[in-house]
Chains A and B, each alone.
Chain A
Amino acid sequence: MQTATHADSSGHGAHHDPGFWSGKIFSTDHKVVGMQYAVTALLFLLFGFFLMLMMRWQLAYPGHPIPLVGKALSRILGEDMASKDGVMSPDLYNSFGAMHGTIMVFLAIVPLLTGAFGNFIMPLQIGAPDMAFPRLNMMSYQSYFIGGVIMFASFFVPGGAAKSGWTSYSPLATVNDMAHHPNGQTFWLLGMIFLITSSLLGSINIISTIIQLRAKGLTWMRLPFFVWAQFVTGFLLLLAFPPLEAAGCLQLMDNAFGTSFFLPTGLVVSGRALHVAGGGSPLLWQHLFWFLAHPEVYVLILPAMGIVAEVIANNTRKPLWGYKSLVYASMGLGFLSFLVWAHHMYLTGMGIRIATFFQTTTMMISIPSVIILTALLISLWGGSIRFNTCMLFAVGFLPMFGIGGLTGLPLGFNASDIQLHDTYYVIGHFHYVVAPGTIFAIFAGIYYWYPKATGRFLNEFWGRVHFALSFIFMNLIFMPMFIQGLAGMSRRMYDGGATYAEAAGVTGLSPFVLGLNKVISHAAFALALAQIPFIINFFWSIKHGKKVASDNPWDATTLEWQTPTPPPHGNFTKPIEVFRGPYEYSVPGHARDFIPQNDPDTSTPLTHGHPVHG
């Protein structure tokens, strides 16, 4: 079997020891950059979660001081943000809400999926020594880091962080905190410019690497589905982000230089006419924003599906069902994702013809989604399933993404969206896709690839505890939101809807619906506690986890398992040649139940994407 030889004999890893600064901070090695992304993004994930925990406290117990951190918030952020005894102000609630969304999407999930997993795993899976542009890779991380610092700093700016939603709609985004220059929104816009730049440079790298640096014999239809997912995602980032960058520049001009690209004529703020030229269009912002933000959600889900696919194939010991369907569906998904954006704008007064167009494309895009989910589900059939922790998360992903996708349907129809737009139903829908969806896939990936990066397993018992508790509590958090949304409870309400409570003779939100706030919040606190074993496991196992017995502890077929553990600089000491497809599991007539892609063993006929047996 052809394996890459150990680092010592190559002479490559031995010739210099880069030291801390060029080895860990200014490294251009894709694995180091991937780790930098992973650590930073996981920290932001935790921070974004923490913001939400404080918000959930306010929703369950409106007007009550936040335990543990309330007084500190007041001291750090000032008394107009949090009262002296620690009660959150509406402004603080709004800024936490806006920043929770921004941080989760742009600072946590996308960097984890593309920056961490994409950077670390993809070059290994295609048999490349590094990314096509290593220095650009380093700069992408640095741009992301700077963007993150700016976003974090925005909390401490006079007026506080941006508070007009992660969607930052004008004119509110421009007139909020108008008295301060610069304000939290200015920082948000500057931060977004750095984050978008980071993603653009990263996507150029990912696409170029996959096109140019595939190993010999690694044809397109022999690529692991994870690589296809990263490839399509790269195009989404490349082509969809620039309009938001343009919109961000324009809104920054409105915010800082008195232009009025998005401010209509005759706007009156707090009783006074706004002194701008006017003539702007708030809808223009929405179009430009959603032109990115819709493809963005497919950026959030495609690499996650890629991870789930790898884990499922490996732990069912059989090839993925419908590899070609998966590939073509992901390409279709990417293409269609550019054509659906205005389904976020059904309530803006668009005419019927244009609304119908977007409704049609939105219905069409559910087809490739379902194809991918179905293929992954059918892949389980007849498998010899190993229910290790990563497989639990991967299988858990499937019904959760199913619920998320199905609940999207009433939102995709113009008529039903009239009732559901901007309610908690929407929050439930998208969180199902991203939280027990994407985040479960991320956990699956971490449990799966941790042994390759560190040479040790994460603890299985605590992994299962982590899975079981997370699964239960995530459902307890997001399922009630559908009930609240159908009852008409709006998003982004500081008091949890209390203003709209039903009263004698007045229809409104029932005590049951409002009471669900407490259920959700308590489940959120429990979810936070459920992450503690994971965090401890993550750090403890670096030094004390069970050691792997080989470089390929999961008996996997893909190329990242054919390197030493952890892979050295340059990854493969000899050029890799690929002879078969990515999922040669349980090939009949073979002693082992898997054949690595680079195994030239001629006793099995060389294959394309599918093994020879039926």
Chain B
Amino acid sequence: MSKLLLIVTIAGERVALPAEAVESVVELDTLIHVPRAAPHIAGLSALRSRVLTVIDCMRSLDLGVTDCSDEIREAAVVELDGHVYALIVDLVEDVVEALSEPQPVRAAMGPGWERVSLGMVETEQGPMLLVDVAALVAGVEAKAA
């Protein structure tokens, strides 16, 4: 039984998130800013009665800032250590089946991607980078600390 993957686009790159980690995909509208929090914390939002901590994935990868001001953003909801996070992505595409176990990527990746990589998986749509959700949530500062 192979694992399911959620294909999303972050910073123009198509990557895979482990589907079992993703609770749901939501559209965020309101976003409450958290002053003085780490830069990749885009703010807080509410999903029904739960408070979501919204993570700006681009910022977390140190690849730029997602513009959250104008439109409704798509986000993948994940739960980690009892806290619920929403990962802002450019686009949520599809759910596909993983055809292989993650393999180490031997080519040199961009600095942001290296930190969150769990390896490369084969899919029907070609090889995909499998992203570590916890590393995305921790953000780029966690590595420095």
Is chain B found bound to chain A in the same assembly?
no
Where the two chains meet, the residues of A that have a C-beta atom closer than 8 Å to any C-beta of B are none
Where the two chains meet, the residues of B that have a C-beta atom closer than 8 Å to any C-beta of A are none
